[in-house]
Structure 1
Amino acid sequence: MRTLQLLVVAGSLMVAGSAWAQQATKADPAMLAKIKDEGLNRSRVMETAFYLTDVCGPRLANSAGLARANEWTRKQLTDWGLTNAAVEPWGTFGRGWEVEKSYVAMTAPYYHALIGTPKAWTPGTNGALKKRVVVVKAATAAELDKYQGQLRDKIVLLDMLNPPKTSFEPDARRYSEEELSKMAQYRPEASVGQPADAEERMATRRTLLALRTKLADMVVSEGAVAVLSSRGGSDGTFFTSNGAPYATDAKPVLPELEMAPEDQLRLIRLAEAGIAVELEVEVSTRFQSQDLKGYNVVAEIQGSDRKLKKEVVMLGGHLDSWHAATGATDNAAGCAVMMEAVRILKATGVQPRRTIRIALWGEEEQGLFGSRGYVKNHFADPATMQLLPDHEKLTAYFNLDNGAGKIRGIYAQGNEAVMPVFEEWLQPFTDMGATTVTLRTTGGTDHLSFDAVGLPGFQFIQDPLDYGTRTHHTNMDTYERLPADDLKQAAVVVASFVYQAAMRDQKLPRKPLPAAKPEQRL
């Protein structure tokens, strides 16, 4: 009889313990209600986005604008009550650069102001230039040779490979229910190795890089004075990039501006018709080489659980941008949402069991450098996979960097074990459009730095809006492209995910550790 009683009691305790553990993984409805109320009714996300874009300005890697944003975010996070806020170096980056003046116009056969901006890390013109143009079209190194002797004292006008085409599709869109359903049903196919044309594509890339190198050397040696180019776009929108390396020992290049395609094509048509085209160009740029380091901004909400407070839940986005606009959708939006998420948690008085750490990354646009440097310094080097002590303490990293659209779900990044957890966490937000957990992996941003060393790193699914068509790396990436309701929704969802990860009994499940991957270069 006593044995039976003990078994019944033990069984009851096991059931109770199991129920308690399950309940501990679920969200506190009262806290979720507070998060929604604070994030939807007293949001400051647009105010934060305004400071990051209009006030701080363009935030190119290691520029004065990025330094302004670093300091402003550090102070703002401190003012909101976060601790250990710091601008933390991740390693050596290279020279800073910014535009001080930029002007380009056609002065013959008639006057017309043109849309364009200097390519990053290119020099200025040392005053105003008024010169004739020569069009250069070459698909091979041999075709470049025919321009020898024709470029001296000229502005080189490069051919346009991606001219705009009439489109009857809207710039902006949201994911359909059918698209989200396909994401949710995704299962990886069996590995089939490299694509059949992988080697051919790599060879084409090497050829293109060699052609660009020869062109850059040729315009300098032939005595040209400037270059105009365009990578595509439409309706006055153009894409921007760098025209020279940021390394301190980079070879000299000519001043180069990227142009709106309509202006570029008009100049090409005129010149090819035999009509003399003259341009006036004045560009002043400034290099900064006193401090070659790159930086991240970090801050924390301290954990309260005696055993779990040494563990960390991280969230973040990249703070740097390109320079032709103010980097609103790429990625002031993500940073403003992540900052708003931690502001919401502080305002609701949450006492997280684990420490919550926000990180705003630098130099993402050049190769995820800020997050890669942070992961290498704190967790592990993917080249060796020698784990540091903090590797075991990270619960998860959540990233936002796919524009300004509202959150529709999350990529599980191939981590099947985490899917039911995320599905449960999304349940309170089905009425806000966040419903989908997909096993798919996604790339291109800072969660990859964590995934590369076997840490749970995740990117949220966002409505694309006009990110791919109008704003990503363009001169149109401005505050006006930020829909307030979408950013408010995103901040509420992120705050909830971070809160639940910080309160859960166990860390989130991990995938197996990857093998070491020494860096490979072309």
Structure 2
Amino acid sequence: MRYFTKIALLTVAVSVTPLCAQQKDPMIDHIMNETYQNSQLEQLAYELIDGIGPRLVGSPKMQQAHDWAVQRFQNWGIAASNEQWGEWKSWERGTSSIEMVAPYIKSLEGTQLAFSPKTPAKGITAEVIALPLFQSKAEFEAWLPKVKGKFVMVSQYQPSGRPEYNWKEFATAESFERYKAATTEATSAWNRSMENIGHTWRSLNKPFEEAGAAGIIWSNWSRGFGVNKIFSAGTKKIPVVDVSLEDYGQLYRMLQHGTVPKLRINAQSKDHGTVATFNTVAEIKGTEKPEEYIILSAHLDSWDGGTGATDNATGVITMMEVARILKKYYPSPKRTIVVGLWGSEEQGLNGSRAYVSAHRNKMPHIQAVFNQDNGTGRVQNISGQGFLHAYDYLGRWLNAVPREITKEIKTTFPGYPGSGGSDHASFVAAGVPAFMLGSLSWSYGNYTWHTNRDTYDKIVFDDVKSNVALIAILTYMASEDPEKASTERIKLPIDPRTQQPAQWPEPKEPTRKGGFE
């Protein structure tokens, strides 16, 4: 513990060096001026988010995004290509409508989930049934035949669509405590029921499809006003839709009061079979040490409930803008600068894992990886990811960045190796100093991460510009550094679960053929 405290103190000393102690560097001035006076971010965002749209792995939109990125890089004089790493089911979203046709007519807010089978052209009309709580698997199996020919509601009922922060702000203390207690108990009861029947949300749809359900209705509330998570259907023959909390709640209450609603769901989509999946890789060749690399990392794919603006178009346009600026003012870097726009991060870091696997010989020669993948906020925290001397070289590079950008950034050294969550983990597992640039939240987890509201209007361009300047300067400093960054790792502590020394994460192979489960 004393050892880690010592490192933490060293970190503070490095990261708070006054701006006046920095040497004036014309390159940093060029980067700052280009970032703030000639930004291309809004144009790039429009082209990718509004012009192309969501980028579900394997979809035609994903391929369009790969081709767009290659063309953009080439227009800037940067070599780029698409590297195939696997194959995926190619699904293309069509129109969807969800109508309550009895006891009266009402259009419901919702959409089909990714990879959902389509309905007949005129849709499917059926009554609704809600999944109750169960005490045992036998009780569930006895109930299961009731779903035949019906739309099955499979999400927990939410009696209040107000997020907790809204309750906390306006409710009395007593009312807020009652709300929290009731919510906690309802969630616990639901989770116990799921355990009793032996299913999770990932496997829940299968028994209903096998029992002859007409379709499945989810409401995966994201704990904010008007937001739901939009993931995969997980069925082969019947449609799966997600319905807003408000409309789902009305259907549930009708059933509770003895009224059986009838819905008509029309969900159209196209199955294009199997297609190749890619990473887009761009490169500015180094001059003095071309066989050493700095990688700018972001994933190009998204879920498709919204248009993937903050997950992860912001990361993509950040890295592309950094590359554009460096090509303009730093066209002959000492080390090779690589931009990796990965595919299928959302299904398990597949694109970056494939890159690590295909380029094993490069891994020992990578100076650093800078990864951006958590919304639109300015960078606020950076971990050393378990690399013992990260405080030294990363601290030097950060010290060159103007204080107005770094003043809110908190560093944690030596940190702990990331084993998942985003693409930096693929490189960390291979022993590469790879750093997740953690951003200010802007309510990312509730309002945009994998939701139907992850759209262009949620981008805060001032914060994204700050990240462009930060990453461009870090990349420049990492390239110019006369020393190769150390890859020495910390000795990991005892894992409290196993009482054995924790293990450094191991590289994993990607899923190279997916979307068919």
Kindly state the Cα deviation for residue 512 of structure 1 after the two structures are TM-superposed: 3.9
The CA deviation at 1:231 is 1.9
2:387 corresponds to 1:404: no
| Superposed counterparts of 1:87-486, under 5 Å | 87-92=82-87, 94-127=88-121, 128-139=123-134, 140-160=136-156, 164=160, 166-167=162-163, 169=165, 210=199, 215-233=204-222, 234-244=224-234, 252-291=236-275, 293-305=276-288, 308-379=289-360, 389-427=361-399, 428-432=401-405, 433-439=407-413, 440-441=415-416, 442=418, 443-486=420-463
Q: 1:211 to 1:462 in 2, by over 3 A?
A: closer
Amino acid at match of 1:235: F
The Cα of 1:162 is off from its aligned counterpart by 5.8
Larger displacement relative to structure 2 (454-463 or 129-138): 129-138
Seen in structure 2, the aligned counterparts of structure 1 residues 430 and 207 have a Cα distance that, compared at 3 Å, is: farther
- The answer for the alignment partner of 2:46 in structure 1 is 50
Q: Check whether the contact 1:310–1:354 (CA below 8 A) recurs between aligned residues.
A: yes
Residue identity matched to 2:83: E
Q: Is the 8 A contact 1:270 1:276 kept in 2?
A: yes
Cα contact 1:163–1:261 (8 A) shared by 2: no
Q: What per-residue deviation string (whole Å, max 9, x for no partner) do you get for residues 471-502 of structure 1?
A: 00000000000011111111110111111111
The alpha carbon displacement at 1:73 in A equals 0.4
Aligned-partner Cα distance in 1 for 2:203–2:331: 59
SS in 2 for 1:311: strand
Cα distance between partner residues in 1 of 2:425 and 2:65: 24
Q: Deviations over 1:208-231 (max 9, x none)?
A: 764668753432333221110122
Q: Please, which moves more after superposition, 397-406 or 159-168?
A: 159-168
RMSD: 2.7
Instruction: Report how far residue 169 of structure 1 moved.
Output: 3.0
**Paired residue secondary structure (2:146):** coil
Q: CA deviation at 1:253?
A: 4.2
TM-score for the superposition, normalised by structure 1: 0.80
The letter for the 2-side match of 1:155 is: F
Check whether the contact 1:423–1:436 (CA below 8 A) recurs between aligned residues: no
Range with greater deviation from structure 2 (422-431 or 342-351) = 422-431
Matching residue of 1:21: none
The residue type equivalent to 2:265 in the other structure is V
Query: Quick one: distance in 1 between partners of 2:23 and 2:352?
Result: 29
Normalised to the residue count of structure 2, the TM-score between the two structures is 0.80
Unaligned runs of 5+ in 1: 1-25, 172-202, 245-250, 380-388
Which residue number in structure 2 is paired with residue 488 of structure 1? 465
Q: Is the 8 A contact 2:301 2:346 kept in 1?
A: yes
Please tell me whether Structure 1 or Structure 2 has the larger radius of gyration of its CA atoms. 1
Cα deviation for residue 516 of structure 1 reads: 5.2
Distance (Å, rounded) in 2 between the aligned partners of 1:214 and 1:414? 35
Specify the code of the residue in structure 2 equivalent to 1:238: N
Mapped partners of 1:475, 1:504: distance in 2: 43
Return 5+ residue gaps in structure 2 as ranges. Answer: 1-21, 168-191, 491-503, 512-517
Deviation at 1:43, TM superposition (A): 0.5
Q: Equivalents in 2 of 1:50, 1:217: separation in Å?
A: 39
How many residue pairs align between the two structures?
446
Find the aligned partners of 2:321 and 2:159 in 1 and give their Cα distance. Answer: 40
Distance 1:213 1:489 in 2: 38
Structure 2 residue aligned with 1:178: none
Equivalent AA in structure 1 for residue 214 of structure 2: V
Please report how far the alpha carbon of residue 302 of structure 1 lies from its aligned counterpart in structure 2 after TM superposition: 1.2
For the residues of structure 2 that align with 1:121 and 1:515, how far apart are their CA atoms? 31
- Could you tell me how far 1:236 is from its partner in structure 2? 2.0
**Secondary structure in 2 aligned to 1:510?**
coil
Cα shift at 1:124 = 0.9
The one-letter code matched in structure 1 to 2:143 is Y
1:169 alignment partner, SS class = helix
